[in-house]
Amino acid sequence: MSPFLAPLEDVQPQAGSARIREVRALVPHPTDAGASDVHDTAASHWIQGLADADGGWDHQTTHPPITNPMSRYPRYAGARSSWGVANVPSVVVEVEDDEGRIGVGASTGGEAAAFLIERHLAMFVEGQNVRDRSHLWEQIWRASIHYSRKGLAVHAISAIDIALWDLYGKTLGEPVFNLMGGRTTQRVPVYATTSRPDIAKELGFAGAKFPLRYGPSDGAAGMRQNVASVEEWRSKVGPEFPLMLDCYMALDVQYTTELARRLIPHDITWIEEPLMPDEYTGHAQLARNLQGMGSPCYFATGEHEYTRHGFQQLIDPGVTLLQPDVMWMGGPTEFARVAAAASAQDVAVVPHGCGVYGYYMAMAFEEITLAEFMMMSEQADTIEPNFGAMFVSEPLPEAGYITVPDSPGFGLELNREALGLVRPYPR
């Protein structure tokens, strides 16, 4: 508890500097699928995990299945789109100051997030100075705590915070990573999230992460096929190429323990997000199990965790690799706190997804030595922008590295023509 000696003084915007004139929350209505959101893809995209009706796939028209929290229900066990994974689209926040500079941020949340931003959260930002981001973050957090804490509302906070950092970078003419400590490397190494680790290796990525196919409801046969698929990829890419396994919240402690035991000979670098995010006791048990069996892989999770408070609940049980998504977990202001907590306890951090935003975090924190690149092409065979048509240009990997520019803010320009942006709750 802080030793309060007097009421907190109101923070006054610095005299003579620009104030924030308006916060706008926009929702894209793109004409093409995939123009704004990783989930928003055609049914034939590999990330839908749509296998043939007979359970087979050919890498041309169908794909390996992807186990997920809904796989246990037969009617939702097919493509991920069947349970509406893409029904909540992106939200884009613009923060404009009274000198006409505009900072841009993005998250997932669509019109629901736009409502929170316009009708509530904007009031703490408008009229303030972009320098005072920590203060603004804290006020937004405290004022929304009765409905936020985790999930959609923190997505909304993240989009605002990203827009503020972007605007501050544009105000100073500096890239965001310079505002967070500067470069810690010249280029950011990236691994590919993909259904085709063999192609990822050919393209020069630092490693490949592929989805687990089956969950506990697929029984012993599913377990055998899971192990066989890892064996298959290991034999295709050879012993040196790092492989990671994404379990997307589909498993339980016992299943993951047995899977990890069977995978010991195949040298998986990490097992990702095996449990539902709130199973903190389960995380502790699984961490003990993995350590007890001498499993060589990291226990990775965190893409659906929020704020420093949530990530501490992953560090404490013994998760060994955190995957904060700066677009979801609270924005750069909060990401820096999580990175500091992880570093102090020797827990690895590899930013989840979120394209450029994650690369800027990796650039600013020396402890982060790897970032994620999502293979957005339908067959996971060519390199395409993570955000589809959302931005005019995104830096793309070459030979397994991302080079981020020195341009101001996050160096991104909204592709307004392609996005069909709508402001659902104008004020």
Closest separation in Å from C-beta 236 to Mg ion: 22
Residue 216, Cβ neighbours under 10 Å: how many?
Answer: 18
* Three-state DSSP class for residue 244: strand
- How many residues bind to Mg ion according to rule CB under 5 A? 1
CA angle, 412 then 413 then 419, to 5°? 120
Task: Give the range of 51-59, 230-238, 239-247, 325-333 binding Mg ion by CB under 5 A.
Answer: 239-247
Stretch that binds Mg ion, among 38-46, 115-123, 243-251, 333-341 (CB under 5 A): 243-251
Give the x/- contact pattern for Mg ion in 82-111, rule: CB under 5 A.
Answer: ------------------------------
Nearer to Mg ion, 132 or 273 (CB): 273
CB-count exposure of residue 94 (10 Å: 0-12, 13-18, 19+): buried
Stretch that binds Mg ion, among 140-148, 241-249, 355-363, 364-372 (CB under 5 A): 241-249
Closest separation in Å from C-beta 186 to Mg ion: 27
Catalytic (active site) residue 120: no
The answer to whether residue 372 forms part of the interface with Mg ion (CB under 5 A) is no
Count, residues in the chain: 427
Contacts 24+ apart (CB under 8 A), 311-317: 311/338, 311/341, 311/342, 312/341, 313/280, 314/280, 314/283, 315/341, 315/342, 315/345, 315/347, 316/284, 317/280, 317/281, 317/283, 317/284, 317/287
Q: By C-beta, is 328 or 391 nearer to Mg ion?
A: 328
- Of the listed 39, 63, 304, 352, which one is catalytic? 352
274 vs 400 by CB, closer to Mg ion:
274
**Token pair of 179, please?**
């505002």
Which one of 246, 325, 372, 378 is in contact with Mg ion (CB under 5 A)?
Answer: 246
Residues 6+ apart with CB under 8 A from 406: 175
Judged by CB, which is closer to Mg ion: 110, or 274?
274
**Which one of the spans 174-182, 211-219, 242-250, 388-396 is the region binding Mg ion (CB under 5 A)?**
242-250
The alpha carbon of residue 32 and the mean position of all alpha carbons in its chain are separated, in whole angstroms, by 22
CB of residue 36 vs Mg ion: minimum separation in angstroms?
19
- CB of 311 closer than 8 Å to CB of 322: yes
- Where helices occur in 195-301 by DSSP H, the ranges are 197-202, 219-237, 253-263, 280-292
Residue number, 271 or 315, with CB nearest to Mg ion: 271
CB of 273 to Mg ion, least distance (A): 5
Cβ of residue 69: shortest distance to Mg ion, in angstroms?
12
Q: End-to-end distance of the chain based on CA atoms, in angstroms?
A: 39
Residues binding Mg ion (CB under 5 A): 246
